[in-house]
Chains A and B, each alone.
Chain A
Amino acid sequence: MIQTLIEMIQNDFTFRVVSFGSLILGMISGALGCFAVLRKQSLIGDAISHCTLPGIAIAFLITNSKNIEVLLFGALLSGLLSMYLITTITSHSKLKFDASLALVLSVLFGIGIVFLTYIQKNSGSHQAGLEKFIFGQASSLLKRDVRIMMITGIVLFSIMIVFWKEFKLVTFDPVFAQTIGIPSTFFGGFLSLLMVLGIVIGLQTVGVILMSALLISPASAARQWTDKLSVMVVLSSLFGGMSGVLGTMVSSYIPGIPTGPTIVAFMSIIVLGSLLFAPRGIIRKWIMQRKNHAVLYQLLKANSYEKIGGEGI
């Protein structure tokens, strides 16, 4: 398999570009996903990625160009707007977090569809290609797109390293962070901004529907192996990058298989493996339980014999 991989990297330019893009994307989303999962906001990625659609459509409507930077900037703005709406609705009404997620998701995605149909009716076939953001199309990645992803990735990782302490505190204990003088609302918002950025650059590859898996799955898998945030982030981005490359490889090896879903499938396999085989996973737990049962049974047995002998019941 590794030989095939090396061969493909050497000979196939498209494969090189796409797999490198998926690798970066997997690493970024894996690292960012840890914070989302630990802050109990796993599904926010799903909501935000759906909510980027109106931004993409409006950006296209205003500039009338399919320039990827412009469209992604529109996506970024509407992603941030949705983040703001979700937090405002949750904090100023009795609606719970998940309800406001579902509400904002469906409404903004609906608005996106409205704009898409409007564009379709008014600018003819020129709009073709906007819909690829819904389902993603990794094979259409260009060298330029991957360069954008790489720059964003480097920026994201350096920000994460610089503000590591703050992000850690805000994730685990925002109240404590506030009391020792770290503006936790600001850093919480900053972290959310990074998340929106990570989601936006993933849209092209896997699309809005599967983007949430890229955030949640590697992080949930990494969570099973460690209790340390730094290890978890490294592991998670490793899992993410690995499934990115593997997914691209399989999908270009077997014709007719789309890249995004294959990446997600590999991630799910990693999650399943981690849930089963991790130190605190299902199998270990089951073995421990059986062992404990046996020990307890022995103890009970011994105890009752003693009683019978000692007291002569």
Chain B
Amino acid sequence: MILFSPQTQILLIGIVVSLSCTLVGCFLLLRNMSMMTDAISHTILLGIVIGFFLTKDLSSPMLIISAGLIGVLTVYLVEAMHSTKLVSEDSAIGIVFPLLFSIAIIIISKYARNTHLDVSCVMLGDITFAPYKKLIIGNLDLGARAIYSSGVVLVMNLAFLILFFKELKVSTFDPALAFVLGMMPSLIHYLLMTLVSVTVVASFEAVGSILVIAFMIGSPATAYLLTEDLKKMIVFSSIIGILNSFLGYEIAAYFDVSIPGSIALMTGITFLCVFLFSPKNGLVFQWMTLRRNKHAFTKDTFLLHLYNHHGVTEEISAETIGNHLCWSSEQVNNVSSALLENGFITMQEDCFVITSKGEERLRKNYSFILEQC
């Protein structure tokens, strides 16, 4: 590890954290629990504060344990409040997490004024200094501690995913079926939420709590737009997470700004690209399809009109047809010239007449209408 420069270590931390967040994040997204990440990433502050008061040591592993426990407690409280059926689930999230967060802030500002427990540092996090928090065993400098802590979490998440993939999949998409099959969906649920808390705790030490949300929801959301296959989604979102970390780091290094912030920015940019240009569901593609369908439909309307009113000069003459279709003369010109060019209609003494080719086109798409006529 000592061979790696701090820059490489930062990048490595970013990639490991993004991978471990992505693995659990995909399931959170699919279970409609995205905002739970937000809640947990705030409430673990309370866990850290409690852990700190128990051990008086900011680098003790006790902090991670108590923060993880508070994360699970958050989930439990939200669900308990929701299960009274007096408040909706998102309201429950919005009531529980500010309370726990407030308690943490009150404790810090009352009792921990003189310690190094800085709220803004905890919440905003800074990966920049992560390489200098080293893991030293004996006299051996093994590199940044964050690499190991998030590496362990990554292995845990990966093991959980591989061992319980089937159970996770079924209980995510059809909890009732999972229950009937004896897969214990609630156990899986709490295991997943425990892992989420642990992942948040291990990651936010390195990257700050807001970037944890970007990693957990941002890249899975991007991947979700690209595919409908769960395995592909996990793979895609891992790749996107790595890409975002790499590009975000480069941007931050170039402009000398916050690294977590620019990785979050990159997450937004990749999402926007996919949202706009994804080949199947992208906004641009949707818009193009809409336009194409609109054009085709206008032409078909024109052809149908000619077919129905065959021989009635008033209805199909070039001058008056606009009134009957309620179209402007410009639109009539555009549509008719396009149809004339393709040979769907011809002009006979100032009237549009549908050709056999045009009738064929109608028959192909609208045979059910033609039969009724």
Contact = CB atoms under 8 A, between A and B. Distances in A.
A98 interface: yes
A224 B32 contact: no
A110 B95 contact: no
Interface of B is mostly: helix
A99 B102 CA distance: 25
Contacts of A111: 261, 264-265, 268
A114 B257 contact: yes
Contact of A265 (B38, B99, B258): B99
Nearest to A266: B102
Interface string B24-48: 0000010011110110001000000
Given A98-B34, A117-B261, A256 B113 contact: yes
Interface in B247-304: 252, 255-258, 260-265, 267-268, 271, 275, 281, 283, 286
Interface residues of B, number: 60
A302 interface: no
A89 B210 contact: no
Given A118-B255, A210-B102, A220-B95, A106 B218 contact: yes
B195 interface: no
Contact of B258 (A105, A114, A212): A114
A257 interface: yes
A93 interface: yes
B5 interface: no
Contact of A275 (B84, B105, B113): B84
A280 B85 CA distance: 10
A134 interface: yes
Contacts of A288: none
A107 to B, nearest CB: 3
Contacts of A96: 32, 34
Contacts of A258: 105-106, 109
B38 A105 contact: yes
Interface-central residue, A131, A215, A219, A261, by most chain B CB under 10 Å: A261
Given A99-B29, A261-B106, A107 B42 contact: no
Contacts of B35: 43, 46, 98, 101-102
A130 B103 CA distance: 24
Interface residues of A, number: 64
A188 interface: no
A210 B101 contact: yes
Contacts of A109: 210, 264
B109 A257 contact: yes
Contacts of B34: 96, 98-99, 101-103
B91 interface: yes
A95 B224 contact: yes
A95 B252 CA distance: 29
A5 interface: no
Closest 4 CB pairs of A and B: A110-B264, A213-B98, A107-B268, A261-B102
Interface of A: 37, 40-43, 45-46, 50, 89, 92-96, 98-103, 105-118, 121, 131, 134-135, 209-210, 212-213, 215-217, 219-220, 223-224, 254, 256-258, 260-262, 264-265, 268, 271, 275, 280-282
Given A107-B218, A220-B87, 17 more contacts: A42-B94, A46-B35, A93-B275, A98-B32, A98-B33, A98-B34, A101-B34, A102-B213, A106-B217, A109-B264, A113-B210, A117-B257, A117-B261, A209-B98, A210-B98, A258-B106, A282-B84
